[in-house]
Amino acid sequence: QRLQHDPAARLPLAYMRLRRAIRNVIENGEVQVGHALPSERDLARALTLSRVTVRKAIGGLVEDGLLTQRHGAGTFVSERIVKPLSRMTSFTEDLRARGLNPRSEFFERAIGEVTPEESMAMNLSPGTQVVRLHRLRYAGDEPLAIERSAVPLSLLPDPNLVEDSLYEALDKLGNRPLRALQRLRAVVLGPAQTRLLRLSAGSAGLSIERRSFLDDGRIVEFTCSWYRGDIYDFVAELQSD
Ligand code: GLP
């Protein structure tokens, strides 16, 4: 019902419009995580679209990680957070796209000098000033990740510009990164980390290091994140040479 009246419907092709409309419904929390979508046939009939169109729209959202198909059972709003590796989205954007409410608890939001590790990773000379953030990142009340970021003060002149989202603050300054190098590694989370993430001792996590850059090659961030292993899927499309 709701899909029929979606204002997002100005895209040229029917499947694109439907894909956007379903995405909006999920983002607005009207269909919740873990819940089923009507069957392909029912959707096609209700919206007077062909099944090919519906299948294409749903296929795209499965690729985006927003929907999951379980054989014989139907299509569901993904419970795990499925994150395409090739897209440079922020924590906040990933969660909002799923109708979840991103939030941060700050342990640190201050100016400091680069540590030796940061200075090497960011290729900045010792003594360079950075904004340092240390955050516990939540979806609503549920902690999902721990992040430590360093951003040169020249690109982020005041730590308090980061109200919650780092990329939102950088965006406003015209300094949103365009390119990033990222390294993922499986880790056993330490006791302090499992306590913060409310996991049992010895739980697995994903350590992610991201170095992001502006168009002109200047480094914007060096962020070390520890994501919960029980909730995130990272997916990538591969092509043979
Ligand atoms: C992801 C990345 C981080 C990045 C963060 C920004 O978690 N792994 O490198 O700093 O997103 O997210 P936000 O804008 O919500 O602070």
User: In this structure, which residue's CA is closest to atom 2 in ligand 1?
Assistant: 90
DSSP reduced 3-state for 229: coil
Set out the domains of the chain in order of their start, with CATH numbers: 2-79 (1.10.10.10), 86-235 (3.40.1410.10)
Higher per-residue confidence, 85 vs 215 = 215
Give the E-state strand segments of 12-97 in sequence order: 67-70, 74-77, 81-84
The mean pLDDT value of the chain amounts to: 91
User: In this structure, which residue's CA is closest to atom 10 in ligand 1?
Assistant: 223
User: Residues lining ligand 1, CB < 6 A?
Assistant: 90-92, 147, 149, 165-168, 208, 210, 221, 223, 225
Q: Give residue 219's pLDDT band: very low, low, confident or very high (50, 70, 90).
A: very high
pLDDT digits (tens, 9 = 90+) for 129-167: 999 999 999 998 999 999 999 999 999 999 999 999 999
Q: Residue 7: what pLDDT?
A: 52
**What is the CA(150)–ligand 1 centre distance, in A?**
11
Residues 199, 202: Cα–Cα separation, whole Å: 8
Q: What is the ipTM of this complex?
A: 0.99
**What is the CA(36)–ligand 1 centre distance, in A?**
29
What does the CA dihedral 36, 41, 42, 45 come to, rounded to 10 degrees?
Answer: 150
Q: Give residue 102's pLDDT band: very low, low, confident or very high (50, 70, 90).
A: very high
How far is residue 81 from each of residues 100, 123, 187, measured CA to CA in Å?
10, 32, 19
Ligand 1 atom nearest the C-alpha of 149 is: 10
Asked whether the beta carbons of 166 and 146 are under 8 A apart, the reply is: no
Ligand 1 atom nearest the C-alpha of 92 is: 15
Q: Residue 5: what pLDDT?
A: 56
- What mean pLDDT is predicted for residues 224-238? 90
Asked whether the beta carbons of 107 and 134 are under 8 A apart, the reply is: yes
Does residue 4 surpass a pLDDT of 60?
A: no
Higher per-residue confidence, 181 vs 11 = 181
User: In this structure, which residue's CA is closest to atom 3 in ligand 1?
Assistant: 223
